[in-house]
């Protein structure tokens, strides 16, 4: 019965006005079954928040078990996570220098969290929260606020304004301030927009592509009335893994560069 519900949900995916086709997840199946129940409506409304929190809890539990009994010579899960943290730390510090150690927790968490969100939708019954513009916009706004805070803290208010004015140090620079100041503000405001739309568009495109080919595979053998189909989507799963990892890396690298651009010149 569960497989039949999944098949029906795939065939009907995107048929309504709610949006593009996506594979059904646990919450959409519950909503289809109990659409008149308040709890199903609540879960359906907060679907992306639910999966975002689920991933956060998963990462928290994973970190707890990896660090609850640390060993001098790590092995297994502790060794794996230490390799991940060390790799991210070296990468961030390679861009930001020694100052980058202060930003490894934020940027490392950002990369791991986005990577897990992108991969989560490939698990049957789950969904990638990053396929929602609300999720990616929240992440991008968080980066934007932290970057601006870093700029004010490191440069001071006057230095922060001087940064947006293009750091004029001669007559030509002073004359260009009326042009450079609004241009820098527009550029800064465009950063969270580009971060959120790029991640959202790529992850949503992967999910839609996989859903379309799953539906096509089911339709081909639909005359058999079986709860299965031809796995036409299988090659695109590997493509989704690759692009999901790349998008998590791109988001994190651009965020790191935004921090670098706020540093005083002496720290570049």
Domain ranges of the chain: 2-267
Per-residue pLDDT of 200-232, as tens digits, reads 999 999 889 888 888 888 887 766 666 666 778
Residue scoring higher pLDDT (179 or 197): 197
Average pLDDT of every residue of the chain: 84
Among 118, 92, 119, which residue's Cα sits nearest to residue 105? 92
pLDDT at residue 66 is higher than 90: no
Taking Cα atoms as reference points, which of 13, 262, 34 lies closest to residue 156?
Answer: 262
Quote the pTM value: 0.86
Contact 143, 258 (CB under 8 A): yes
* Least confident range of 26-35, 74-83, 241-250: 74-83
- Dist. CA 29–CA 92, nearest whole Å: 41
**How many Å apart are CA 220 and CA 9, to the nearest integer?**
16
CA 15 remoteness from chain centre:
27
Share of the chain above pLDDT 90, in %: 41
Q: Is the model's pLDDT at 239 over the cut of 50? A: yes
Tokens coding 238:
């590997």
């Amino acid at each position: 019965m569960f497989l039949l519900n999944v098949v029906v949900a795939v065939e009907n995916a995107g048929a309504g006005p709610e949006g593009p086709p996506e594979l059904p997840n646990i919450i959409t199946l519950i909503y289809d079954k109990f659409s008149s129940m308040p709890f199903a409506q609540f879960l359906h409304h907060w679907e992306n928040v639910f999966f975002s929190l689920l991933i956060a809890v998963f990462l928290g539990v994973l970190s707890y078990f990896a660090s609850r009994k640390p060993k001098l010579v790590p092995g297994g899960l502790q060794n794996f996570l230490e390799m991940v943290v060390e790799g991210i730390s070296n990468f961030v510090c390679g861009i930001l220098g020694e100052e980058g150690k202060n930003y490894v927790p934020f940027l490392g968490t950002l990369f791991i969290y986005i990577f897990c969100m992108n991969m989560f939708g490939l698990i049957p019954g789950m969904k990638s929260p990053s396929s929602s513009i609300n999720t990616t916009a929240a992440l991008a706004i968080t980066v934007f606020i932290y970057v601006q805070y870093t700029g004010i803290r490191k440069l001071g208010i006057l230095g922060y304004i001087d940064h947006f004015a293009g750091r004029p140090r001669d007559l030509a620079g002073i004359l260009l301030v009326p042009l450079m100041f609004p241009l820098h503000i527009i550029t800064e405001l465009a950063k969270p927009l580009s971060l959120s739309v790029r991640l959202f568009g790529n992850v949503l495109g992967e999910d839609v592509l996989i859903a379309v080919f799953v539906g096509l595979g089911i339709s081909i053998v639909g005359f058999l009335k079986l709860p299965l189909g031809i796995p036409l989507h299988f090659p695109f799963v590997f493509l989704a893994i690759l692009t999901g990892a790349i998008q998590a890396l791109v988001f994190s690298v651009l965020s790191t560069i935004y921090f670098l651009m706020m540093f005083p010149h002496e720290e570049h």
